[in-house]
Amino acid sequence: MLIHTMKNLVELQNLLVLRGNQPALHIDKLSIHKGEVLAVVGPNGAGKSTLLLTLARLLKPKRGTILFHGQPIEKESDTAYRRHIGLVMQDPLLFDTSVYENVASGLKFRRLAKEEIQRQVPLTLERLGVAHLSKRRANHLSGGEAQRVSLARALVLAPELLLLDEPFSALDPPTRAAILDDLKELLREMATTTVFVTHDLQEAVQLSTRMAVVIGNRLRQVETPNKLFNSPADDNVARFLDHRSWNISS
């Protein structure tokens, strides 16, 4: 039986997700703490994105329990549940309109007052460092600018759960480093619970409070970066982390 604690936003137990009738992800137990940034790492095809899409209710598990605030997520419709989450993918999916209109779109869908939208959008653009691009059309943005706008569009809705699927993998190293620095500070300030899929271990260490290792379509270990690299659960995790070449400070 899954025991809920107040510090957990999401809890999963005995989860099996199929893709193409083949097992794509097994999770015996996973708790996602309120306010944490959980980086999900593992080899290509291990099931990292499957976990994210399941949390977004874009994939339905074959079996298992998923609790959100201690309640089975099936108690809400897909539409109602997704109002609690923000999703940012690897490729920015922006409307062919201005930056301002892109970030305002979700607030308009929720029928917020015009005055509130006019207050929240500039604030969020400023936090992501793109306020000066407010009037620019989305198709005239650089890759880094577009990803910042995607993050702004998700964060302006104040999601309880932010899901990031390798959003920085296509960016050049200086752009990626700058966004990671800004995002780390912003997530700490907003205390936004975040699940962050990445293939980049350094990126995971930089942004996360805990890391989850998925290998062979199974969740193998969840720990703080320091504990994970110093005490991998098994040889598979150790080989993936190549922990002897790392020096992670606590």
Residue 3, domain member (yes or no): no
Amino acid at 7: K
**Number of structural domains, the chain?**
2
Q: Which backbone phi and psi does 22 adopt, to 5 degrees?
A: -110, 145
76: how many CB neighbours lie within 10 A of its CB?
A: 15
State the pLDDT at residue 80: 93
Can you read off the two tokens belonging to residue 10?
């999401």
d(CA 226, CA 246): 10
Is residue 73 classed as helix, strand or coil in its secondary structure? helix
d(CA 43, CA 62): 23
Looking at the fold, whether 100 and 210 belong to one and the same domain comes out as no
Confidence of residue 141 (pLDDT cuts 50, 70, 90): very high
State the pLDDT at residue 250: 39
d(CA 51, CA 146): 25
Q: Is the pLDDT of residue 97 over 70?
A: yes
Looking at the fold, whether 115 and 186 belong to one and the same domain comes out as no
State the pLDDT at residue 3: 54
State the pLDDT at residue 2: 54
Residue 249, domain member (yes or no): no
Residue 250, domain member (yes or no): no
Sheet strands (E) in 137-225: 161-165, 193-197, 210-215, 218-223
Can you read off the two tokens belonging to residue 68?
């959100």
Amino acid at 62: K
Residue 149, domain member (yes or no): yes
67: how many CB neighbours lie within 10 A of its CB?
A: 18
Can you read off the two tokens belonging to residue 76?
């809400």
Looking at the fold, whether 25 and 72 belong to one and the same domain comes out as yes
Name 31's bridge partners: 11
Q: Is the pLDDT of residue 26 over 90?
A: yes
Looking at the fold, whether 97 and 193 belong to one and the same domain comes out as no
Q: Which backbone phi and psi does 164 adopt, to 5 degrees?
A: -120, 120
State the pLDDT at residue 167: 87
Is residue 38 classed as helix, strand or coil in its secondary structure? strand
Location of structure tokens 């699927």? 165
Q: Is the pLDDT of residue 93 over 90?
A: no
d(CA 67, CA 83): 16
Are 108 and 117 contacting, i.e. CB atoms less than 8 angstroms apart?
Answer: yes
Residue 71, domain member (yes or no): yes
CA distances 135 to 97, 122, 131, 157, Å, are: 9, 11, 9, 20
Name 30's bridge partners: 12
Q: Is the pLDDT of residue 161 over 60?
A: yes
Can you read off the two tokens belonging to residue 6?
């107040």
Confidence of residue 248 (pLDDT cuts 50, 70, 90): low
Give the domain range for residue 98: 91-158
Contacts of 184 (CB under 8 A, 6+ apart): 37, 206, 207
Interval 198-227: pLDDT, tens: 989 999 999 999 999 999 999 999 999 999
Q: Is the pLDDT of residue 126 over 70?
A: yes
The predicted model gives 32-47 an average pLDDT of 96
Looking at the fold, whether 71 and 117 belong to one and the same domain comes out as no
Residue 239, domain member (yes or no): yes
